[in-house]
Structure 1
Amino acid sequence: MKYLLLLNCLVIPVINVYPASAHSVKIAGDVGGTLHIEPNDNPRAGEPTQAWFALTRKGGRVIPLAQCNCRLAVYAQPYAPGEPPLLEPSLNPVAAERYQGIPGAEIVFPKPGIYQLQLNGKPTSGATFKPFNLKFEVTVAAGTSNNPQDLQDVNSGVAQGESRLPLLAIALPILGFVGILFVVLQNMRGRRE
């Protein structure tokens, strides 16, 4: 019984851990793209954010901006197909981590919420990759804005996020706790008799 109790204590917290990734990776055709946002993949509304895209071909060869006719579009979520982008920041070659000359842009997200960054690219003359369309979802936190509407948007986003929490994520810890309590009470009863 002690081992079962120990197993419950170890397994229940692990089940509820959601995987997190500092960089978002997407693949389209023969091109893979990794999005990184400064600072620390945690953009804030109203503050300049540096976003860069590490583009690679199959095999890991880097695609610099000079070899890609790339276009970045930023959409506020939710958006309807055909709707014009909220922002179209210009791309510039940047050096980040081990990458040189990759596409990067400075973005100022207008308010907190969820945004989609779409990076479309076609090879320039001499480049040999297929055209691609990569879509990255970005959550923007409240920033330096003193606008009360922005705070309201943050609160509504939190409420919506809570409603999306899977029932299983709530039920498993409760069931685990009830199971542990049941085992402990059974052991206590067995010792009294």
Structure 2
Amino acid sequence: MLALTTGVEPTFAHKVKVEGDVGATLHIEPNDIPRAGEPSQTWFALTRKGGKLIPLAECNCQLSVYAEPHVSGELPLLQPTLKAITAERYQGIPGTVINFPRPGAYQLQLSGKPSTGQSFRPFTLKFNVTVAVGSRDKNNDNTLTQPTVNTENNASNNWLLPVIAIALLSTGVICLFVLLRKKER
């Protein structure tokens, strides 16, 4: 109920994107919440239509990392090399370690084409990722660049605190009402 009334999206374990006949599941350690300045194991479980796994050996894949917002044609912030890894139940899938430089919004763009034959069409999948404050930031280590404050976004989120308070208060009132009804019986 809280997630519905506050507009805050619940966190799910993996992000999934599909383009044409290729889909990918993205996972970033830890728990799909990377932290600034800390290495984050990142992997993509690529599948063809029908669910057949596409190992890195069959895909000429490239990963580009952009700080958001970015404009089309802008050079990526990072282009980490993908390696075949084993993660969860997947073997030989594209993976890498990404060290996001600072907290904030990023976009990961995974593009690929078949390395041999035409088992799938070329694709570009875009994943939006939010990077949390890292432990270095929490300890006031100023070796990382501090994020800029976007006052326009902050002003648009001023409604969030009152909505959360109302949702919590409503939940409390409902629980109290249910308890009183049980005592009357």
Structure 2 contact 101–144 (Cα < 8 Å) conserved: no
Which residue of the other structure, out of 163, 166, 178, is the alignment partner of 2:156?
Answer: 163
Q: Which residue of 2 aligns with 1:9?
A: none
Q: Which residue of 1 aligns with 2:182?
A: none
Aligned residues: 165
1:108 corresponds to which letter in structure 2? N
Structure 2 unaligned regions, length at least 5 = 178-185
**Bigger share in helix:** 1
- Alpha-carbon spacing, 1:127–1:113, altered in 2? closer, same or farther (3 Å): same
Q: Which residue of 1 aligns with 2:147?
A: 153
Answering whether residue 125 of structure 2 is matched by residue 130 of structure 1, we say: no
Q: Which residue of 2 aligns with 1:46?
A: 37
Structure 1 unaligned regions, length at least 5 = 1-11, 185-193
Matches within 5 A, 1:32-43: 32-43=23-34
1:170 corresponds to which letter in structure 2? V
Per the TM alignment, residue 147 of structure 1 is displaced from its structure 2 partner at its CA by: 1.5
C-alpha distance in 2 between matches for 1:163 and 1:13: 19
- Percentage of matched positions with identical amino acids: 55
Per the TM alignment, residue 153 of structure 1 is displaced from its structure 2 partner at its CA by: 2.0
1:160 corresponds to which letter in structure 2? N
Task: Please state whether the residue corresponding to 1:153 is helix, strand or coil.
Answer: coil
Per-residue deviation, residues 38-78 of structure 1 (Å, max 9, x unmatched): 11111111111110000011111000000000000000001
C-alpha distance in 1 between matches for 2:121 and 2:49: 11
1:15 corresponds to which letter in structure 2? L
Per the TM alignment, residue 173 of structure 1 is displaced from its structure 2 partner at its CA by: 3.8
Matches within 5 A, 1:36-185: 36-143=27-134, 144-145=136-137, 146-147=141-142, 150=145, 152-153=146-147, 156=149, 160=153, 163-164=156-157, 170=163, 173=166, 177=170
Compute the TM-score of the two structures, normalised by the length of structure 1: 0.73
2:4 corresponds to which letter in structure 1? I
Compute the TM-score of the two structures, normalised by the length of structure 2: 0.76
Give 4+ residue runs of structure 1 displaced > 4 Å after superposition: 164-167
- Alpha-carbon spacing, 1:106–1:171, altered in 2? closer, same or farther (3 Å): closer
